[in-house]
Chain A
Amino acid sequence: MITAYGVVSGSAGVAIGVGLAGATTQAARGVVMGGYSTALYLGLAVGSFAFGPVITRYGYATGFGLGAVVGAVGALIAAVLWTKAPHDVRELLTA
């Protein structure tokens, strides 16, 4: 289970980087990657700090379950947004 978690999360990390790089031109790639970096830190920070009180009050099942729900909802929203880009990896734009 842990191996599977590592494989899917590692693969997703690469895919997100490629998707973001292909979604913009070179002229704006820095700000897009800055947003990616911000998302990583905010996600880690919220996961670390906000779920402590939840686990303390309601136990691991609720805390981990809620974390899973947030992750799944984020993936669902992204999937809906991504449907507008059927061929999301294209030759990286340099304009």
Chain B
Amino acid sequence: MTASTSLVAAVCALTFVHFAAAQMRGPLVPLYAVAHGVTATGVGFIVAAHMALAGVASIPLGRASDVWGRRILLVSGMAISAVTSLHLPVVESGVGLGVIYGLAGLGVAAFTPSAMSLVGDAARPRAAGRAYAWYATAHYGAIGVGPFLGGLSAEWWGYRRAFVASAVGAAIAFALGLAIPVRPARAASAARGTFRKVRANPTVWAGWIVAASGLLTQGVVFTFFPLLGDARGLSPAAIGLVFLVLGIANTAARVPAGWLIDRTQRSAPYAVGGCSQAASRLRYCLTSPRPARYSQ
């Protein structure tokens, strides 16, 4: 195994362990909040705080990884995840949970751009497709496994100990991150001019725009397909099966897609074609009836 392959493998392993631990909190935070008297609106605020901070902080923390190096941001992200998981059991109010879970979003924002950049930094020539495919497989695999582990932990040990289990998982990732050598990023002197170039780069904007619009369609599917299925008379198990098939297909496609990108040395056609095809398939989910719970 070459040094670059080893580094990609290490980043994938860290990503899997960190996100599995962090995502354990996903189903637990709303349930824990409701159990302590937080309203549905309050739960929405708590989850929104997490997503908003993760989204807003990603660009400045990604830039910080260019200036200060990937390693410090990677390990800081994992440390933030561990500390915030450890603090969730000691707060019960909606505001308190919003603050702690919002700060947990900073951990995600510190980790993700650095990990994705590191994969790009380490990938061998003509192997970037497979490198990103393995990274994405680790990331999305963890997003699938984490909530399941969280739910299982809560059932066995209760919410508070499940949060502690999440903290232990993130702490393990943190320790692994400290043990793995990571090359420093570029010097800070070049960063200012390079940032200007990034903002003027149409290819970068193309990637950002297609990512945002593609994830918007996923947001619609993930949030409202269960309601649509319910309105069509699908059982919860059937709806779960649909999401299982979706998750397996999504994950299984990634490595072959990476191989194809490396073979053809093109990525834009797959990005544009994939997102436009996903959008067109969204139309086939359609039925016209209004959701039963909204129609009174």
A positions within 8 Å CB-CB of B: 1-49, 51-52, 55-56, 59-61, 63-65, 67-79, 81-82, 84-85, 87-92, 94
Contact assessment for B120 and A45 in the assembled complex, using a CB-CB cutoff below 8 Å: no
Q: How far is the CA of A3 from the CA of B146 in the complex (A)?
A: 22
Docked Cα-Cα span, A92 to B262, in Å, equals: 12
Residues of B within 8 A of A (CB): 48, 51-52, 54-56, 58-66, 70, 73, 109, 112-114, 116-117, 119-121, 123, 125-126, 128-129, 132-133, 135-136, 140, 185-187, 190-191, 194-195, 197-198, 201-224, 227-228, 231, 242, 245-254, 256-258, 260-262, 264-291, 294
Neighbouring A residues of B203 by C-beta, 8 Å: 19-20, 23, 81-82, 84-85, 88
B-chain residues with CB within 8 Å of residue A47 when the two chains form the complex:
215-223
Contact yes or no, B220 A63, CB < 8 A: yes
Knowing A39-B211, A45-B52, A82-B203, say if A8 contacts B58 (CB, 8 Å): no
Chain A, residue nearest B132 (CB): A17
A-B contacts, 15 of them at CB < 8 A, read: A1-B284, A5-B221, A6-B253, A13-B254, A26-B185, A31-B198, A33-B117, A34-B58, A34-B59, A38-B56, A38-B59, A39-B211, A63-B220, A71-B276, A90-B265
Task: Give the interface SS of chain B, mostly helix, strand, loop or mixed.
Answer: helix
Q: Could you list 16 further interchain pairs (A-B, Cβ under 8 angstroms) beyond the known A26-B117, A64-B283?
A: A16-B211, A18-B129, A19-B203, A32-B62, A33-B62, A33-B120, A34-B65, A37-B113, A38-B58, A45-B219, A52-B224, A59-B291, A70-B213, A74-B210, A81-B202, A82-B206
Q: Are A48 and B186 in contact (CB under 8 A)?
A: no
Q: Which residue of B lies closest to A60 (CB)?
A: B228
Q: How far is the CB of A69 from chain B (nearest CB, A)?
A: 8
B128 touches A63 (CB 8 A): no
Contact B253 A78 (CB under 8 A): no
Instruction: Kindly provide the distance from the CB of B146 to the nearest chain A CB, expressed in whole angstroms.
Output: 16
**Cross-chain contact A35 with B51 (CB below 8 angstroms):** no
Give the docked Cα–Cα distance between A75 and B271 (Å).
8
Q: Are A71 and B279 in contact (CB under 8 A)?
A: yes
Residues from chain A with Cβ under 8 Å of B195 in the complex: 28, 31
For B208, list chain A residues within 8 Å (CB). 20, 35-36, 38-39
Nearest CB of B to A13, in Å: 6
In the assembled complex, which residues on chain B have CB atoms less than 8 Å from the CB atom of A76? 272, 276
Complexed CA–CA distance, A41 and B226 (Å): 20
On whether A67 and B198 interact (CB within 8 A), knowing A15-B268, A61-B287, A77-B209, the answer reads no
Q: Tell me which residues across on chain B come within 8 A of A73, comparing CB atoms.
A: 213
B254 touches A36 (CB 8 A): no
Residue among B63, B114, B264, B276 with most chain A CB within 10 A: B276
* Docked-complex contact A36 and B207, CB < 8 angstroms: yes
Closest 8 pairs (CB-CB, A-B): A47-B219, A74-B213, A34-B62, A12-B274, A6-B249, A43-B215, A71-B279, A41-B55
Question: Whole-angstrom distance between the alpha carbons of A19 and B258 in the complex?
Answer: 11
